[in-house]
Chain A
């Protein structure tokens, strides 16, 4: 009997409840309030074209190449060009650089453009309904073409006038094909043209056009570029055989490839000088670059200088050319050394010519390639006066009874680069749009909202009220990234032709990468400030207060969110924010007031 009692199953007495806890609104305990708060990635703020790089990398990592390519096209119609020749100021700004190495954004951009070309993708981009204003674009270089592209998407009719037989400007005639194959350029020009504007080649316009244009056009965009190399003002530079470097590049780009022999001298330190040096090397010469300051002061992009030196280009720094003399087929340059006398912390070295022993350099040819200028004086923007608006990358001149004249590209940019040309185009297009719709006085205020991270780069997507509008201006810093969620992984190495393969051909130096490698590289991106659906917020929420929406978004159920902030801390990429509860209420109240006033 006693045995039976001890063997009886003892009823368990444990705390258990079948009552739902839904009635316990733990949200009432909250004094901190998390919210989704997408921010600005530093790369996109550093990109003059304001490309949405964090999102582009996210889409690439997911294998959504078309969507990623379109995300570029929203802000920059030239990914194939920029993926090759851009000096990628985005990469030094990359937060991943403080972790291991910056993401190879430049390489990814090119991959996406190449992929779009390979599969002959057609972009589906948002376009506004047609508007009545018409714009003439003078010069089919990158800035002119991009202006027509952006304005067409904003609903305006555009005509592009080009003096040469083919569109492309400096991209067609100035940049050698080992950096930018013509087919890539033609493809992207065609892609832009298809948005719906006309390019009239062989139409060299005169200054009078500006007066006559008023009959047809509401505005004229002048993107005529820098196509003239100034004289050095030294004896002997007018000798036959002393050539303008840009004309030489144009000649080679037309298909005329003269054989060169012996040493050739290139005077200058910009990208044109480096292009001339590397082109002449491929034509058989031994080029020597002569630059008056140090290598570090050269305006040419450092990668280009590096590759030129690798290929065998010689560099003579801190020398000026005093005179050029000719004896038969040989030219003698008289050089003077110019020592550095003062060096500002972050500026160019100051040099001073001092009387010193002169050097002589014997060469077979001399190229002038110092700082380019506009070919005609009327291409340059007017001086500051009453009705001139000078923006970061463009200048707008207003006059009664005449079309608005906008200036952009090299004539308006301190840094002469393709991506700055695109920045000019976008800025001018947005400024013209605001002028047409609301008047010129609205430009300052309205443009402020289009700034990427509050900097000088503008976003066309924001201007067109796309989803990017909802991002905050805050630029995410590395210490705002939860680096615990990332593993060290080496940056992709851009494959290139061997030095030996490069120097006797104009074949493109940089090679393609596979989709596999591109996706792996894109996965390295922190996607700073952007939600990539990692779901950490939902998985870590102790109150199940993060709710997944049907459209794969998420929202916070504030009935139960206690404001512990775990979701914000565990967000690897700082796409959330935590604020004091009463602070948020105050903000909301202010917004309310704001709403009534406007």
Chain B
């Protein structure tokens, strides 16, 4: 049934349909609408789940680690500082192989205080062993949340479903809310591979000395590697029920493209418009949207970008001292190709600044006109700063 829904509420609908058992979260703008709606669902009985109120994000994830260890489906949501506060437990959740799903609303980190969109918060957690899926539309948010449970429970790793603050979390769009029967057809009941059970007592996650620790970490890497092939299997199943598929990456007219724009999140939508305009003007331009960031789909990236002359990666984030993070990953994926495109790194839209069609046009123009590709990231649209003397 189609409804006009806020992105946050699309997440909540998916969590309800996924028949989650335990929810724990701490409010933070711009995430709060998600758990607000879920607490309504729990209160009015539309969702039969325990909603645990806690005193911090650290406790929220700790509570879910406990809950998930008992073999039930769990959910949390957070943003920015809240995610940073969870950091220690992000490692624990993946190390303990718990299929927890989190909605992460990309918000800039303080100081200075900024509640608007910026990917640095989630990308700073890229090494924690969580899958990361970046979304573009309300429908994708709903679909990806359902897919996240499938993936998490298949490989026993936690997942972040990531959406841009306000541009996605607070924007109303028509969203098709599937029926419970449809969702049940795609996402069966969770069958835990291990769980705390008083009838069969055991201890988890005790000491792992050097002779086993490395193998345990390799086991996580193997699970991440498997996601890349499981993703297609998952989308096949999803497509049968819902008739939609997204792909871990989505290439748009890249086959014959000389220049390919690489984007993630809502910047992709604006880029789609630019790409069509430029194609109409006869430019041989393609667009690659990266949805799955962890594990990084390096094979697909190499296959799609390898033949282009130039690639422009647009990052709404920055790893200070190294530059745009998507660009680093793309460059790393391409570096061993004998013939490879020049990879331009652009940083734009930090802290919620608009990345308009004009900004994207400038990026394209610069990429096309520039003969020498700079090693460093190029910061788009910086204002002149007048310092007090």
Contacts and interface: CB of A to CB of B under 8 A. Distances in A.
B110 interface: no
Contact of B229 (A6, A15, A19): A6
Interface residues of B, number: 27
Interface residues of A, number: 14
Instruction: Determine chain A's interface SS by DSSP, over half rule.
Output: loop
B196 to A, nearest CB: 10
A12 interface: yes
A350 B132 CA distance: 84
Contacts of B212: 13, 15
A15 B194 contact: no
Interface in B195-224: 200-208, 212, 215-216, 219, 222-223
B207 A15 contact: yes
Contacts of B225: 6
B79 to A, nearest CB: 29
B201 A7 contact: no
B229 A10 contact: no
A6 B207 CA distance: 30
A3 B225 CA distance: 12
A16 B96 CA distance: 10
A16 B204 contact: yes
A16 B203 contact: yes
Contact of B97 (A3, A12, A19, A21): A12
A6 B223 CA distance: 10
A386 interface: no
A17 interface: yes
Given A3-B229, A6-B226, A7-B230, A13 B219 contact: yes
B205 A13 contact: no
B216 A13 contact: yes
Contacts of A15: 204-208, 212, 216
A215 interface: no
A20 B200 CA distance: 11
B205 A12 contact: no
A12 B219 CA distance: 7
B193 interface: yes
Contacts of A10: 155, 219, 222-223, 226
Contact of B206 (A3, A6, A7, A17): A17
B158 to A, nearest CB: 14
A18 B204 contact: no
B8 to A, nearest CB: 33
Residue with the greatest number of chain A CB neighbours at <10 A, chosen from B156, B203, B212: B203
Contact of A7 (B156, B194, B216, B233): B233
Contacts of B229: 3, 6-7
Contacts of B97: 12, 14
A14 B155 contact: no
Nearest to B229: A6
Interface string A14-32: 1111111100000000000
Contacts of B193: 12
A10 to B, nearest CB: 5
Nearest to A19: B203
Contacts of B226: 6-7, 10
B201 A18 contact: yes
A73 to B, nearest CB: 45
B178 to A, nearest CB: 26
A14 B201 CA distance: 16
Interface string B79-117: 000000000000000001100000000000000000000
Given A7-B229, A10-B155, A10-B219, A16 B202 contact: yes
A17 B202 contact: yes
Residue with the greatest number of chain B CB neighbours at <10 A, chosen from A6, A14, A19, A21: A14
Contacts of B207: 15
A243 to B, nearest CB: 70
29 contacts: A3-B229, A6-B225, A6-B226, A6-B228, A6-B229, A6-B230, A7-B230, A10-B155, A10-B219, A10-B226, A12-B97, A12-B193, A12-B219, A13-B219, A14-B194, A14-B204, A14-B205, A14-B219, A15-B206, A15-B208, A15-B212, A16-B202, A16-B203, A16-B204, A17-B202, A18-B201, A18-B202, A19-B203, A20-B201
Given A6-B226, A12-B193, A16-B205, 5 more contacts: A6-B228, A10-B219, A14-B194, A14-B216, A16-B202
Interface of B: 96-97, 155-156, 193-194, 200-208, 212, 215-216, 219, 222-223, 225-226, 228-230, 233
A-B pairs, top 10 by smallest CB distance, nearest first, are A6-B229, A13-B219, A18-B202, A17-B203, A15-B206, A15-B208, A15-B205, A13-B216, A10-B222, A14-B97
